Amino acid sequence: MEKHFFNKLCTELLEHGLKSSKRMRVEEIVAMFLVVVGHGVGNKMIQERFQHSGETVSRHFHRVLHACLKLSFKYIIPEDPMFRDCHAKVKNDQRYWPFFKNAIGAIDVGYIGPYRCERYHLPEFRRSNGFENHNEVFNYYHSSLRCIIERTFGVWKNRFAILRRMPNRYSKVQISEIKNAPTLSSPSHQFHAEIRTIHRRQ
C-alpha cells in the first residue's frame, strides 16, 4: 500500500471511531491490522514484529475491525438505492434477461434459490444434451451466474491471505460483527450479484 493511501485510511478510520492509545499511535494500530488481513499471519507473528503482547494485538485488531465496519457504510452502497435498473450483466445478455429481468438482490439460496430436485451444477448439464423442462433452464443460468460470484471471491482470496487461512476465532468474530451490524448484509449481497427476480410470480 502506498504511503498516501495508508495515511488516508488512517484518517478515515479516525473519523469512524478509531483512537490512539497511550503507547500506540493509530498508524501502528492500522499497520498491525493490515499485516494480519493482507498476509494472514497469526497473533504470535504480530507480537514479534511489533513488540506488543498478544492481548494488545488482539484488542487493537478488533478496534480497527469495528471502525472498518463503520467505514463500510460510507463506501459499500448501491449506485442506485432504488434499484431502478437491472444489472448490465443480466440486461445485456439474452441468456439471462428472460429469467432475471426486473430483478434486484443476490443470487443466493437465501434469496433466489434454484429449483430443487432438478439438475443444477454445470457439469451435470455437460453430460447430456438439452434441458428436460423449464426449471432446468432456469437452474442452468442461475448456476452460470453463481460461478461469476465464486470467481469474484477467488480474486478476493488471492488479494487477502486471511480469507484463505482464516482461523476459527476470526470466523466467530465475523459472525459476531455481522449480528451487531445487520444492515451490512444488504450491501454485501449487492457484491454477489443484483439478481433478485420476479420469476416466481410469472
Round to whole Å and give the CA distance between 17 and 108.
33
Model-level pTM? 0.61
DSSP line for 49-97: HHT--HHHHHHHHHHHHHHHHHHHHHHS--S-TT--S--HHHHT-TTTH
pLDDT of residue 187: 36
pLDDT of residue 10: 96
What is the mean pLDDT of each successive set of 10 residues along the chain, which is 202 residues long?
93 95 94 90 91 94 91 80 75 82 57 82 85 89 82 81 65 50 39 33 32
Domains of the chain, CATH where assigned:
3-75 (1.10.10), 88-201 (no CATH)
pLDDT of residue 16: 94
pLDDT of residue 186: 38
pLDDT of residue 148: 78
pLDDT of residue 147: 81
